């Protein structure tokens, strides 16, 4: 297909017919068919099981029900549906080269697939934005962690935007143009070769999210760098005591204060200085701890940017190029490879996001190994964050 030259006088109908003829011969046979089927089944199992584990852990462990974790749950739901619906419906089509499920189910599959993939991208942006706020506006961010209704509003906006981007075009493009160019035994969107529509949609679906996630990642890095430099200037060389030591110091001080009120009055200034010094040291230690946590966030976001770019950039660029040259300059097999990269991202996400959080790891242990989880000691301080 890549060796064909495009004739400027060729009509759109001839171009689409030429492409679909190639698509019908795209079926596989023999060992290749078995191998591809096995790979797809494994991919489905990883996507479904991985994201189902996130959903079950969120339901079983109430400590996970914070505003920031709802975005991870939403991402897991969209990725779960990719593995549970989109890939199984697509498998017979790619293996045989023919769509045998009717035009109605084709429209439904296209709407759901486009919406889920787009929702996954928007969820990544939302998660990155949430991490950005947790680092740059820590005080106000922590104050809103219990306000889950804000998270629900943002999640609803994600799904609405994900549907609006492609859904109406998939459903009504045929009515607007007055004719369908998709044969009965094929299933692809009517705007498959409309490069200007795909370019505009790609700006919303990939380029803008990619720039946004990059911006959040860079902003977090600069914030951490500035705080690290400030911490070096103000740091003392004494080792930060743990919470139990500080609590013991305060307890012993209060006992001494209770023994003799006269001594308290005489040494009130000295005790005040000691309390001030102890509180100041505790605050510096807390700031260092938060700085370490924010560094972990920055590293995880850097991974997000890289994985997001690797999974989405090839498909987006190839889709625009393919549409501009009416499919004659890009082999369909390369398009399929980039197309599957999008679904591969749904398999990576349950490991890339929740497994970076200690709270999710503990919840996974509770779900998978309930007996072992009961013997694990709680080593983290109750006031520590979930990251």
What was the pLDDT predicted at 24? 43
Q: What is the pLDDT of residue 291?
A: 64
What gap in Å lies between CA 259 and CA 277, rounded to an integer? 22
Q: Tell me, what's the pLDDT at 161?
A: 95
CATH of 13-232+362-373, one of 1.10.3720.10, 1.10.10.10, 2.60.40.420, 1.20.1070.10: 1.20.1070.10
What pLDDT shows up at residue 80?
A: 95
Return the pLDDT at 116: 94
SS3 content of the chain, % helix, strand, coil (to 5): 80, 0, 20
10-residue averages of pLDDT along the chain (387 residues): 37 41 52 86 94 90 84 92 94 89 93 94 90 84 79 93 95 88 89 87 90 88 78 56 49 50 49 54 60 68 79 85 74 80 88 72 81 53 39
Quote the pLDDT of residue 273. Answer: 52
- Say what the pLDDT of residue 21 is: 40
pLDDT of the residue at 178: 84
SS (H, E, C) 272-326: HHHHHHHHHHHHHHHHHHHHHHHHHHHHHHHHHHHHHHHHHHHHHHHHHHHHHCC
CA distance 10 to 232: 68
In DSSP notation, 49-80 reads HHHHHHHHHHHH-GGG-SHHHHHHHHHHHHHH
pTM: predicted TM-score of the whole model, two decimal places: 0.73
How much is the pLDDT for 271?
52
Question: In this predicted structure, what is the pLDDT of residue 122?
Answer: 93
User: For residue 76, what pLDDT is reported?
Assistant: 92
pLDDT number for residue 27: 54
Instruction: DSSP for 184-231, please give it.
Output: TT----TTTT-HHHHHHHHIIIIIHHHHHHHHHHHHHHHHHHHHHHHH
- Could you give the angle at which helices 102-136 and 148-177 cross, rounded to 10 degrees? 140
- The pLDDT, as a whole number, for residue 22 is 40
Separation of CA 350 from chain center: 8
C-alpha closest to that of 107 among 188, 27, 161, 41? 188
């Amino acid at each position: 297909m890549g060796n064909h030259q495009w004739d400027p006088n060729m009509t759109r109908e001839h171009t689409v017919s030429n492409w679909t003829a190639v698509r019908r011969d795209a079926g596989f046979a023999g060992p290749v068919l078995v191998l591809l089927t096995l790979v797809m089944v494994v991919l489905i199992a990883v996507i479904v099981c991985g994201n189902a584990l996130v959903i079950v852990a969120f339901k079983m462990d109430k400590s996970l029900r914070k505003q920031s974790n709802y975005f991870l749950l939403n991402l897991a739901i969209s990725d779960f549906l990719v593995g549970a619906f989109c890939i199984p419906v697509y498998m017979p089509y790619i293996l045989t080269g023919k769509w045998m499920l009717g035009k109605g189910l084709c429209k439904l599959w296209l709407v759901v697939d486009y919406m889920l993939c787009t929702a996954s991208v928007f969820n990544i942006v939302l998660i990155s934005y949430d991490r950005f706020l947790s680092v740059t506006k820590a005080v106000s961010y922590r104050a809103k962690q219990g306000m889950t209704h804000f998270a629900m509003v943002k999640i609803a906006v994600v799904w609405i935007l994900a549907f609006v981007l492609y859904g109406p075009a998939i459903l009504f493009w045929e009515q607007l143009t007055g004719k369908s160019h998709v044969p009965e035994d094929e299933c692809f969107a009517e705007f498959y070769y409309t490069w200007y529509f795909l370019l505009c949609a790609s700006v919303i679906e990939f380029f803008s999210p990619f720039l946004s996630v990059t911006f959040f990642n860079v902003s977090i890095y600069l914030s951490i760098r500035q705080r690290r430099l400030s911490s070096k200037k103000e740091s003392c060389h004494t080792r930060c005591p743990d919470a139990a030591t500080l609590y013991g110091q305060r307890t012993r001080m209060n006992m001494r204060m209770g023994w003799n009120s006269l001594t308290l009055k005489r040494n009130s200034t000295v005790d005040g200085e000691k309390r001030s010094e102890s509180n100041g040291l505790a605050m510096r230690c807390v700031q260092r701890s938060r700085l370490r946590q924010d560094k972990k966030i920055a590293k995880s976001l850097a991974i997000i940017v890289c994985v997001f770019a690797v999974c989405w950039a090839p498909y987006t660029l190839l889709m625009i190029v393919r549409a501009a040259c009416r499919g004659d300059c890009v082999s369909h097999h390369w398009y399929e490879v980039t197309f599957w990269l999008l679904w591969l991202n749904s398999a990576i996400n349950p490991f890339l996001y929740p497994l970076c959080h200690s709270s999710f790891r503990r919840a996974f242990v509770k779900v998978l190994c309930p007996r072992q989880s009961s013997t694990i000691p709680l080593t983290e301080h109750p006031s520590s964050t979930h990251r």
